[in-house]
Amino acid sequence: MNQGLKKQQAADAAIELIEPGMSLGVGTGSTVNCFIDKLPRVADRIAAVAASSHETRRRLEAAGFTVSELSETGDLDLYVDGADEANKHFHLVKGGGGALTREKVLAAASRRFACIIDDSKWVATLGKFPLPVEVVPMAQSYVARQMVRARGQPILRKGFVTDNGNAILDVHNLAITHPLDLETRFNQIAGVVTVGIFAHRPADIILMATDAGIKRFDRR
């Protein structure tokens, strides 16, 4: 089965999690775009919806939804988002689409976080995918030097500005063997806005599309 079909499958599985009266947070990326395309089917079940990026807001509005700010919705019942990598501890690397800061906020503010992936994202150790780190622009070279000290190879995402007006460093060649510790450590670096490790707020549910169908993992 090709990756496009797997993304559709994962999106279908996430649609089934939506119960009547739910407030919903929506992530960013190509897998989530499949989810947004299917969302009008269950529009009558959704009490409010918040978006993790300008792009997601635009797509939700095009699909007929009124998008609320998190300050209006309060905590959300369910957050649905993709990931660049996921492991069996429900730790993720995110931010390939550059929306990691708002994604982390929505995940933090949600009672349940369902991560939708295809099986190419499943890894034993995080870090093969370059770790996105959102940085305040004037701090980018300072933060880059700290990443080199941590034995990473930071590359500035050229021509990219986040929805928050910041830059992204993609940090290559980090073996993220202790995701909780590294997330904490990188969060301490002055000028870092958000680290793309989602370990302190991991996924609660992973819906992974495989050739054999959807595999669902629930965190206890």
Give the catalytic positions in this structure.
Answer: 103
By C-beta, is 27 or 152 nearer to ligand 5RP? 27
Sheet holding 167-172: strands in order across? 153-156, 167-172, 131-135, 192-195
Q: Show contacts with ligand 5RP in window 101-160 (CB under 6 A).
A: 103
By C-beta, is 30 or 164 nearer to ligand 5RP? 30
Q: Does 100 sit near ligand 5RP (CB under 6 A)?
A: yes
Out of 25, 97, 154, 191, name the contact with ligand 5RP by CB under 6 A.
97
Q: What does DSSP say about strands 192-195 and 67-68: parallel, antiparallel, or unpaired? A: unpaired
Out of 9, 28, 146, 162, name the contact with ligand 5RP by CB under 6 A.
28
Out of 21, 30, 40, 164, name the contact with ligand 5RP by CB under 6 A.
30
Out of 26, 83, 109, 197, name the contact with ligand 5RP by CB under 6 A.
83
By C-beta, is 84 or 204 nearer to ligand 5RP? 84
Size of the site for ligand 5RP (CB under 6 A): 17
Dihedral angle at the C-alpha atoms of 118, 168, 190, 107, nearest 10 degrees?
-30
CB burial of residue 177 (10 Å; 0-12, 13-18, 19+): exposed
Least Cβ distance, residue 21 to ligand 5RP (angstroms):
26
Q: Does 82 sit near ligand 5RP (CB under 6 A)?
A: yes
Least Cβ distance, residue 181 to ligand 5RP (angstroms):
21
How far is the C-alpha of 161 from the C-alpha of 124, rounded, in Å?
31
How far is the C-alpha of 88 from the C-alpha of 91, rounded, in Å?
7
Cα atoms in the 13 Å half-sphere on the side-chain side of 40: 9
**Helical residues (DSSP H) of 114-178, grouped into ranges:** 140-149
| Cβ atoms < 10 Å from Cβ of 13 | 20
Q: Does 25 sit near ligand 5RP (CB under 6 A)?
A: no
Contact positions toward ligand 5RP, by CB under 6 A? 27-31, 81-84, 94-100, 103
